[in-house]
Structure 1
Amino acid sequence: MTIVLLTFFVAGTSGKNFFPQDVSVTNEKAVLAASRKIYGEQFLNADSLVAEKRFQALIAEAEDTRSSVVKAGLLGIAADFLLKKDFVLNPAFSYETLTTDSAQVIHYYEEALKLNDPKKYPLLNAYFQYRIGNALYKYGNFQKGVSFLFAANAALEDIGVDQLPDPGAYLLCIGSTYCDYHDCEKGLYYLHAAQKYTSSDPKFVYELNGNFGLAYFKQRQYDSSIFYSQKALAAAYAMKDTAEVGSVNGNIGAAYFELKEYKKALEHLRQDYQISSSRSSWASACGSMFFIAQVYDQLGDITSAQRCLDTMQHLFETYNCNTNNGFFSFYALRTKLYRETENYEKALVMNDSFLKYSDLLLRDKTSAMLKEAEFKTARDLAETKMRLAEDQRKRQVLFRNAIIIVAILVIVIIAQYLYRLRQKQKAERALLTAELKNAEKQLAIYIESLREKTKLLEQLDLQITESDEALATQENDGPEKQEALNRIKNVVLITDEAWKEFTGLVNLVHKDFLSNLKVKYPNLTPGDIRLLTLVKLDFSRQEMAATLGISPDSVKKARQRVRKKLDIDEATDIKMVISSV
């Protein structure tokens, strides 16, 4: 044993091989264990210059060796070393901006995977599928990464994860991937499985408990989220990783906010903001500052809440660090605070911005849904490939019975076809349902916005009336009154462009209502159609008048004209007539 250890320590500097000679290349578990030991002792905590020299010697040994298994193990070590180096130097990597080293990581893993016969070495094959999937996922190539990860997972369910050199890290990787795509129930299953493999490595403890905290937060189990996040915070302090200390404090603060424990929420959110600001992580700083503003709003301290939003706006303008979701939340809270202080003019302006970003956020959510669909497709494809591989193995065993083989093949093909067909139909139904729900939400937002603007107009009208009474005794009251009237004229409830978008949503929610209306009653004018649309949406006469820019009496007359065109008497409810359209 002493001789083997000595080999590990001097490799790469004295010309001796990295890979120990006493490891049987036919024992794939032993090969993996030796590879991980080499990486841990020679590269993990080595000085950067020493590690670079050892890396070059490692690559030279991989090129010289005749054993494909040993070569695969050495290339896996090389890829692990470059992957760690990449994410130490570039923690925010994306797949679209790979450096030479990053591309080399993928290349080495792919080469190691190609060197293994999956039938002869299923464990090595599954291990390298897991490693390349993990790397691709970290670099942002989610679809391809997930495909490899689930292929590895399907294989390891048969082989057994205990055969891996580090089962806990593997289970953590799979669990966090499921949680990323909102399958928290399955994600927690794997995270709890990873928890069984105790580790003194604070990074593993941090990542495991951090993922627990996020998963339970998504499931709205906030007490559990805080419990595990506190463990992650302790591990972050142990690692002396200031960035992660700030991040976990933010997660804990968000959970306390949901529990309405606002003082505790403020304590953790302020720490997150201070750390994020000190590290120039402005997007994170904006996120924590928004939560702080919400806390002050809940505590009734509107002045402090407004001050927090002012700080956020300064960060937006200075560092361009926000997203559509951030702007959506920002303008929603701004609108609410201005309403609470009865500043209706500014509330109206903020509400328009809120509507703009609600539309953009809707598009972002659609993109996220497509990404989630890609994840599910990759998972299903990996499982399908494994099932097909198993079918092929069975066909080889039962080759002498040709009739059974053909029957099995036909059944598998038909089953796969029907399965894919059902999945496609299910996905299409889900997408249609999601689009309808999004349309209903957007229509509700438009209607609420119109009603809010109507209320604002009533406020302005009341102000004019009060101004008339107050100025009745003054000689020169014309300019003030005219200015108030001009303010009303400048309030546009709904533009032609907005009306087109509005009617599009009406057609989605009320299946082809406008099209059917025009077909059934071709003599209706555009004004008639607008009036009937508002009737369909339960607008009051006052709301119709404000929306169409006419008086309530004009609405009444317009309804009478429409009744004649629809050929219905006064006793018949006009809404009942158009409900069948």
Structure 2
Amino acid sequence: MSRLLCVIAFLLCHAIVQAQHRSFSNKSNSVGSVSSLETILMDQNFRSKDSTVVVDHLNELLQTAKAKKSAELEIIHDLLAADYYSKLSDKVNPRSDLCYKKALSSAKRIQNDELRLIVLIRQGYYYFVYRELEAAIPYFLQAGELIGQVDYKAVPLFSRHIHQISSFYGYIGNYSGAINLLQEGLPYCKDGTALHISMVNSMGVYSEKQQLLGQAVVHFQRALGIAERNQDSLWMGIIFGNLASIEEQKGNPYKAIRLLKENVRLSVKYSEHLDAMRSMIKLADVLIDVGGWQEAEGYLTRSEVYVKSKPFFLPIKTRIAKLRSEIASIKGYQADELLYLKQYVHYDDSLRATERYDELQRAYWQWQSDDFQRSIAAAHEERKTSLLLELAFGLLLTSVLIIVILLLNRSKNRHKIKSTMLEKEQLTYALEREVLNKELEKITNSWKEADEKSKESTSLIAGLQNDLEKLGKENTDIKVRSVEVLDELLKEPIMTDDRWTKFKLTFDQVFPDYLKKKKAKYPRLTEGDLRLLALMKLKYSNMGMSSLLGISMDGVKKGKQRLKKKMEDPSE
């Protein structure tokens, strides 16, 4: 018994070690392929302005994935194809949706949570960019839950994808959540890169949103130091603009103006038009406050060059119209002031409607987030309960196994005794059955003898019938009476009621309850039906049944048909 328990314990330990080894091997293989996947994701050929170049590279990547039977490469292909279609149509579109759906399905199928994470983030960001927040929320929620469960080193471009999801958190007003995500991603970001600077700068922006100006300055100065160390003038200009906002809030407008002018200069130099536009408008606002409305007017005119007729630029248009009306008021141009005020009111109404929608979306996010967290908590509790039940069941099963082994050892002798007694009972039963079989055989043989005698009688009666027919030609009355007597003799069955009673008693002993069960199952069976069933059980032929029952062959066949019908449908 102890050796058996040791074997069971060894097998359990071996299974656990094998499972851990498989898990480690899967992770190792995943980590080994991260760099190659990152290289493909960052390949600029997939972002070429020439559609032919992009399509050719996508087809080449898909062929490689199929040739290598690599689900990972197929997922990367689907993500890059989704990017291409979204840029091509500049909106949410069915082809991008389908690509994301395929990528997510493949990641789930191969059980790769690291790739599933980037698919969720990229699909959520795709909807977020085109401001379909309701569609983006479920993907960001799932990604947020998955972030704490994956190996960050095994996630391709982990810091870049973290930056994307943090921008969504910042948009919905969850600034602390955005900062926490950025802090998670920073250790995996290459030092000195534009992405590194952007992530640190974003932490400053979100701190400023929370009115944590001291922390904001720390982050901005850190980002500026990285930019200066790597001679990234573009980012230096952007950070100057952010520091200018801090200085304005501190009451230092002229310092803010110097920083904003440097921001404008560098942004224009490096064709960062959106940042240049925002900086020019901010600069015009500060200049008006200090009386430099003429210079402010020039910056507003320059900024309008970059404004486009897209929903994204609605806040920009609103602010420009307001500043234009202020300058017209200072100049005393009432007609222009009224014109710009009308534009401002129009844009502001549209903006407020948009902001109300955004507020609703943020509230929807919060509701969805709370509901998602509740469902996660419920799932954790369910898993915990399931684990406890499995543990209890395992202990119970082990206990039962031990008890069974003990009982088996104790019951060996009892089993031997029972086996001996069973053998004796089987021998006794066999003897009794042999006696009954002999008795049944005797009855059957007597029936056969009676059958043979019946055939002889039939033959004799037939001969007599011929002789009587000859005599009947002379005397008709004698012929009629003789035929009636012969018919009665021919109709007399071999299996009389007395013989049936005796036969049934013996049959029931050889085949216990056979007829009784048939009668119980099919209550409409008659005694004649039971006689047929008994003879059929004994493998009698139709001719044998005809002789024993004293009916014709057709009568036997019809009886069998009626019997079959009753047994197929008891209602008949």
Task: Tell me the alpha carbon deviations over residues 50-107 of structure 1, each in whole angstroms, 9 at most, x when there is no partner.
Answer: 99988656534543667xxxx44333343465578789xx5x9844268x6x567525
Q: Equivalents in 2 of 1:112, 1:252: separation in Å?
A: 45
CA distance in 1, matches of 2:41, 2:343: 53
1:176 to 2:170 alignment: no
Larger radius of gyration: 2
Aligned to 1:520: none
CA deviation map 1:500-554 (0-9, x unaligned): xxxxxxxxxxxxxxxxxxxxxxxxxxxxxxxxxxxxxxxxxxxxxxxxxxxxxxx
Partner residue of 2:29?
31
Tell me what 2:72 maps to: 73
Q: Which residue of 2 aligns with 1:191?
A: 182
Q: Distance in 1 between matches of 2:337 and 2:276?
A: 25
Residue 333 of structure 1 aligns to which amino acid in structure 2? L
Find the counterpart in structure 2 of residue 357 from structure 1.
347
2:205 aligned with 1:214: yes
CA deviations 1:444-487 (Å, max 9, x no partner) are xxxxxxxxxxxxxxxxxxxxxxxxxxxxxxxxxxxxxxxxxxxx
Q: Which of 289, 295, 298 lines up with 1:298 in the alignment?
A: 289
Greater RCO, 1 or 2 (C-alpha within 8 Å, sep 6+) = 1
Cα distance in 2, alignment partners of residues 223 and 343 from structure 1: 42
CA distance in 1, matches of 2:162, 2:274: 30
Q: How does 1:86-485 map to 2 (within 5 A)?
A: 94-96=90-92, 102=96, 106-117=100-111, 125-126=116-117, 128-130=119-121, 132-134=123-125, 137=128, 141-157=132-148, 164=155, 168-169=159-160, 171-197=162-188, 199-200=190-191, 202-232=193-223, 247-274=238-265, 284-311=275-302, 323-340=313-330, 347=337, 350-394=340-384, 396-397=386-387
* Structure 2: gaps (5+ residues): 1-20, 392-572
User: Where does structure 1 lack aligned partners over 5 or more consecutive residues?
Assistant: 1-22, 402-581
CA–CA separation in structure 2 for the residues paired with 1:355 and 1:212: 34
Deviation at 1:293? 1.6
Change (3 A) 1:197 1:286: closer
Using the size of structure 2 for normalisation, the TM-score is: 0.51
Q: Which whole-Å CA distance do the structure 1 matches of 2:285 and 2:74 have between them? A: 51
Q: Is the 8 A contact 2:30 2:154 kept in 1?
A: no
Higher normalized helix content (fraction of residues): 2
Partner amino acid, structure 2, of 1:59:
L
CA distance in structure 1 between the partners assigned to 2:185 and 2:272 by the alignment:
31
Shift of 1:179: 1.3
Distance in 2 (CA, whole Å) between partners of 1:356 and 1:380 is 36
- Cα offset, 1:33, TM superposition: 0.9
Structure 2 CA distance for partners of 1:32 and 1:142, relative to 1, 3 Å:
farther
| Backbone CA RMSD of aligned residues | 4.6
- For the 8 Å contact 2:37–2:156, the answer to whether it is kept is no
In structure 1, what is the Cα distance between the partners aligned to 2:245 and 2:284?
Answer: 12
Identity %: 16
Q: Sort the Cα spacing of 1:399 and 1:237 in 2 relative to 1 into closer, same or farther, 3 A.
A: same
Q: Deviations over 1:396-442 (max 9, x none)?
A: 446689xxxxxxxxxxxxxxxxxxxxxxxxxxxxxxxxxxxxxxxxx
In 1, Cα distance between equivalents of 2:41 and 2:351: 45
Partner of 2:493: none
* TM superposition shift of 1:205: 0.7
CA deviation vs aligned residue, 1:314-350 (integer Å, no higher than 9, x gap): 776xx65884433433343344445555666655554
What is the number of residues matched between the two proteins? 366
**Inter-partner Cα distance in structure 1 for 2:259 and 2:183:** 26
Evaluate the alpha carbon distance shift between residue 41 and residue 282 of structure 1 in structure 2; reply closer, same or farther with a 3 A threshold.
Answer: closer
Deviation at 1:235, TM superposition (A): 5.4
Tell me whether 1:59 sits opposite 2:57 in the alignment. Answer: no
Structure 2 CA distance, aligned partners of 1:138 and 1:292? 27
